[in-house]
Structure 1
Amino acid sequence: MADDQRLWGYTEVAAHLGISVGAARSRGSRGSLPAPDDDSVPDRPRWKPATFKGWKPVGRGFRSDLHGTPAPSPLDSGAS
């Protein structure tokens, strides 16, 4: 199977996101990951690597400074 057709489990997703496998499972159970591309096996969702291309987690605990998303500048808020 070609690398672009290989499906990722929680281990590969965790490695890609830089989190633990437990954290990936937790995010999956909370619905904080993209919908799986293959959920034919109960409790073993699988994703295509392309599903995570351009996808960025949102919400509590997301470190945008580690993922190339610039933090808002205090000057951008319009406060004087």
Structure 2
Amino acid sequence: IYLSHGNPAMLADDSFVARNFLMEWKEKMFPIKPKSILVVSAHWETDVPSVSAGQLPQVIYDFSDVPACMFQMK
């Protein structure tokens, strides 16, 4: 499944139509919490294909001009 996340403010603003769609879609597609999630991102570059993993990965804030509450999300 490929999903473009769009503007990160969508996580904090209910006026984004896509937010409501994705929240409802999530409940239908994943009635049971998945054991793992693979994220492929264009926000990270390496010279060779790489894999990063961690039990508690840190959030990288690579955006600006969004509500301040976005920087509190983990």
TM-score using structure 1 length:
0.24
Bigger helix fraction? 1
Computing the radius of gyration over CA atoms, which structure comes out larger, 1 or 2?
1
TM-score using structure 2 length:
0.25
